[in-house]
């Protein structure tokens, strides 16, 4: 199966947020792609947050990927879904494909990249590029050289993730052809979106 394309516009700076209300600020600043990654809500609270995030994203015609909760993403007609390696086995990929929702897949090793390519996703996320404190990852860092190799050899958009900030983003841009760069903590100050940092990062795409 081949999942739909994300279009001709690069995914660009790709924030991961835990609440829908952060999306309005990001989109108003020029962000065009985001991911809603919620780990602390359940049931109706979770569903309402996903509904709100989709509505805000549609208002700005932005590309929103829902992390993990693929059933709710299908139910509420999300633009895209993002899955980790551990989620692929338990997910009905055929159901996602059938409704035409885009799919992003996390990868950390050569083996995982090769497995993800068999799914023919909308994009591959590769990381952690650098050490990160935003998520516990039991993998070695990929590094810029390996990222550059994959970004040139993989026939799908690549999103780099993990420990990327204003100090090292230029290194990634200069030697790789990534389609997007995912960020979490770098865009936040006291858990609020930093408008100044977001504007500076947008200049790289």
Q: Please report the pLDDT score of residue 190 as a whole number.
A: 80
Residues in the chain: 205
Q: Please report the pLDDT score of residue 131 as a whole number.
A: 86
Question: Which residues, in sequence order, are CB contacts of 116 under 8 Å at separation 6+?
Answer: 85, 105, 107, 124
Burial of 191 (0-12, 13-18, 19+ CB in 10 A): exposed
| Angle (deg, nearest 10), helices 195-202 and 21-29 | 50
Structural domains in the chain, sorted by start: 12-202 (3.20.20.70)
Residue 9's nearest CA partner among 32, 34, 35, 36 is 32
Q: Please report the pLDDT score of residue 75 as a whole number.
A: 98
pLDDT block averages, 10 residues each, the chain of length 205 = 96 97 96 97 97 98 98 98 93 98 96 95 96 71 94 94 95 94 89 92 95
Q: Please report the pLDDT score of residue 136 as a whole number.
A: 61
Instruction: Say how far apart CA 139 and CA 161 lie, in whole Å.
Output: 13
Contact present, 15 and 37 (Cβ < 8 Å):
no
Q: Please report the pLDDT score of residue 137 as a whole number.
A: 63
Q: Please report the pLDDT score of residue 39 as a whole number.
A: 93
Q: Which residue in this structure is represented by tokens 């500076």?
A: 200
DSSP character for 3? P
Question: Which residues, in sequence order, are CB contacts of 23 under 8 Å at separation 6+?
Answer: 17, 34, 36, 53, 56, 57, 60, 62, 64
Residue 192's nearest CA partner among 26, 51, 45, 49 is 26
Q: Please report the pLDDT score of residue 119 as a whole number.
A: 95
């Amino acid at each position: 199966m081949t999942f739909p394309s994300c279009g001709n516009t690069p995914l660009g700076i790709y924030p991961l947020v835990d609440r829908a209300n952060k999306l309005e600020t990001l989109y108003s600043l020029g962000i065009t792609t985001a991911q809603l990654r919620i780990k602390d809500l359940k049931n109706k609270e979770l569903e309402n947050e996903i509904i709100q995030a989709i509505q805000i994203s549609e208002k700005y015609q932005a590309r929103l990927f829902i992390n993990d909760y693929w059933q709710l993403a299908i139910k509420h007609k999300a633009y895209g879904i993002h899955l980790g390696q551990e989620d692929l086995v338990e997910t009905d990929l055929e159901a996602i494909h059938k409704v035409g929702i885009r799919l992003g897949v996390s990868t950390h090793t050569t083996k995982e990249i090769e497995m993800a390519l068999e799914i023919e996703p909308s994009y591959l996320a590769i990381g952690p590029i650098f050490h990160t404190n935003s998520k516990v990852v039991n993998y070695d860092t990929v590094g810029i050289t390996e990222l550059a190799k994959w970004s040139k050899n993989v026939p799908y958009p690549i999103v780099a993730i993990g420990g990327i900030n204003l100090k090292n983003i230029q290194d990634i841009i200069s030697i790789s052809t990534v389609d997007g760069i995912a960020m979490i903590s770098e865009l936040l100050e006291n858990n609020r979106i930093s408008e100044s940092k977001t504007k500076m990062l947008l200049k790289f795409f």
